[in-house]
């Protein structure tokens, strides 16, 4: 039988069918049974990049971290305001105490002067000494009030300075803490992602294996049906007769004409999966696979 060399796989199969019909008295083809492949839905999983994981970690922690820093800032500002109020109160108390002391000793001195005038002792050394003593006591009391104020303010100012330092360094303090929290969250998210990726891989791998087993079953079933048909439709010719008639030569030439358009390696990798060729080549199918395998390794 003469035929044009095929340049595509589809042409090769069409010519093989023609050769088959030609040598086997052009018997009508059987109704091919169509077996649908098994298609299962796979688990979609797209891992996040390191940058996306960090952004997610920052987003998840932002609200809590912002609230934490705001609460601490408000607390410090309240404590600072309280201390400033205490300092102001201490100053006001000191001023009142000083004013009371001034009034108290002014009354004492006034009383001494009036008493001395009534008694005709205006220039008495006794009255003068008492006035001097009163002024000395006033000075000492004023000194105590001021010393107590300074001591109290020193204690409050030390606390105030500490709180102001904490407030000024608050952003840097929390930046360090939050950076560590974000790193920990990134590690946690990455670990979760790795587990999900492994889970998806195992699940999808299982689906692929099921689909492949089913596909193999379909292929085997189709081959079995084809071979059964061939067996029923070609009983009048033996294999020896078909060889003599040139059937296998033409079928082999057709297949080789197509696969010779590919490299030996490409031909071998493709033809070993084209199990449908066994329908037309029978035992010669393995011979052709072996031939291209040898050519690919040369």
pLDDT tens per residue across span 228-270: 655 555 556 788 888 998 999 999 999 999 999 999 999 999 9
Domain boundary residue, one of 153, 180, 207: 180
Q: What is the pLDDT of residue 270?
A: 95
Asked if 114 and 203 sit in the same domain, the reply is no
- For the chain, how many structural domains are there in total? 2
Dump pLDDT digits (tens) for 271-280: 999 989 999 9
Asked if 254 and 211 sit in the same domain, the reply is yes
Residue 4 lies in a domain: no
Q: What is the pLDDT of residue 202?
A: 87
Asked if 80 and 138 sit in the same domain, the reply is yes
Asked if 59 and 157 sit in the same domain, the reply is yes
Distance CA(42)–CA(229), nearest Å, equals 37
Distance CA(92)–CA(84), nearest Å, equals 12
Q: What is the pLDDT of residue 258?
A: 96
The CATH number of whichever domain residue 77 belongs to comes to: 1.10.287
Q: Within 10 A of 268 (CB to CB), how many other CB atoms are there?
A: 21
Residue 243 sits in which domain range? 9-36+199-297
Distance CA(267)–CA(190), nearest Å, equals 44
Dump pLDDT digits (tens) for 164-220: 999 999 888 888 999 999 999 999 999 999 998 889 888 888 887 887 787 777 767
Distance CA(243)–CA(191), nearest Å, equals 65
Residue with tokens 């079933």: 221
Distance CA(203)–CA(210), nearest Å, equals 11
Q: What is the pLDDT of residue 102?
A: 87
Asked if 270 and 216 sit in the same domain, the reply is yes
HSE-CB of 41 using CA atoms within 13 angstroms: 2
Distance set, CA 104 to CA 93, 108, 131 (Å): 16, 6, 13
Confidence of residue 221 (pLDDT cuts 50, 70, 90): low
Q: How far is CA 76 from the centre of its chain?
A: 35
Residue 44 lies in a domain: no
Residue with tokens 């059964």: 228
Domain boundary residue, one of 180, 214, 239: 180
Distance CA(78)–CA(85), nearest Å, equals 10
pLDDT(87) > 80: yes
Asked if 209 and 167 sit in the same domain, the reply is no
Q: What is the pLDDT of residue 36?
A: 73
Average pLDDT value for the chain: 85
CB 23 within 8 A of CB 35: no
Domain boundary residue, one of 116, 145, 180: 180
Asked if 263 and 212 sit in the same domain, the reply is yes
Q: What is the pLDDT of residue 206?
A: 86
Residue 192 lies in a domain: no
The pTM (predicted TM-score) of the whole model is: 0.44
Distance CA(264)–CA(293), nearest Å, equals 7
Residue 191 lies in a domain: no
CB 189 within 8 A of CB 56: yes
Distance CA(221)–CA(36), nearest Å, equals 12
Q: What is the pLDDT of residue 219?
A: 67
Residue 41 lies in a domain: no
**Backbone dihedral angles phi then psi of residue 45, each to the nearest 5 degrees:** -145, 120
Q: Between 39 and 152, where is the model more confident?
A: 152
Asked if 171 and 139 sit in the same domain, the reply is yes
Residue 113 lies in a domain: yes
Asked if 56 and 141 sit in the same domain, the reply is yes
Asked if 83 and 166 sit in the same domain, the reply is yes
Q: What is the pLDDT of residue 56?
A: 93
Asked if 98 and 24 sit in the same domain, the reply is no
Q: What is the pLDDT of residue 35?
A: 64
Asked if 152 and 235 sit in the same domain, the reply is no
């Amino acid at each position: 039988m003469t035929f044009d060399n095929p340049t595509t796989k589809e042409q090769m199969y069409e010519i093989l069918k023609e050769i088959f019909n030609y040598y086997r008295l052009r018997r009508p083809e059987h109704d091919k049974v169509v077996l649908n492949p098994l298609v299962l839905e796979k688990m979609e999983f797209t891992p996040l990049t390191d940058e996306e994981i960090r952004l997610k970690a920052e987003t998840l922690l932002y609200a809590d971290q912002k609230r934490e820093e705001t609460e601490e800032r408000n607390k410090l500002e309240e404590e600072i305001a309280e201390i400033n109020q205490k300092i102001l109160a201490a100053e006001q108390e000191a001023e009142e105490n000083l004013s009371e002391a001034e009034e108290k000793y002014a009354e004492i001195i006034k009383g001494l002067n009036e008493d001395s005038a009534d008694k005709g002792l205006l220039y008495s050394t006794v009255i003068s000494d008492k006035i001097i003593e009163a002024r000395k006591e006033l000075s000492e009391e004023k000194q105590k009030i001021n010393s107590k104020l300074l001591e109290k303010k020193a204690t409050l100012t030390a606390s105030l300075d500490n709180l102001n330092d904490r407030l000024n360094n608050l952003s840097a303090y929390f930046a360090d803490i939050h950076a560590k929290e974000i790193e920990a969250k990134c590690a946690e998210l990455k670990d979760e992602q790795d587990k999900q990726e492994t889970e998806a891989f195992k699940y999808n791998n299982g689906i692929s294996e099921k689909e492949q087993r089913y596909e193999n079953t379909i292929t085997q079933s189709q081959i079995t049906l084809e071979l059964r048909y061939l067996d029923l439709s070609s009983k009048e010719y033996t294999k020896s007769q078909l060889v003599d008639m040139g059937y296998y030569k033409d079928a082999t030439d057709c297949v080789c004409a197509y696969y010779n358009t590919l490299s030996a390696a490409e031909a071998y990798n493709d033809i070993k999966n084209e199990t449908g060729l066994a329908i037309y080549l029978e035992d010669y199918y393995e011979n052709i696979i072996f031939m291209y395998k040898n050519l690919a390794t040369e």
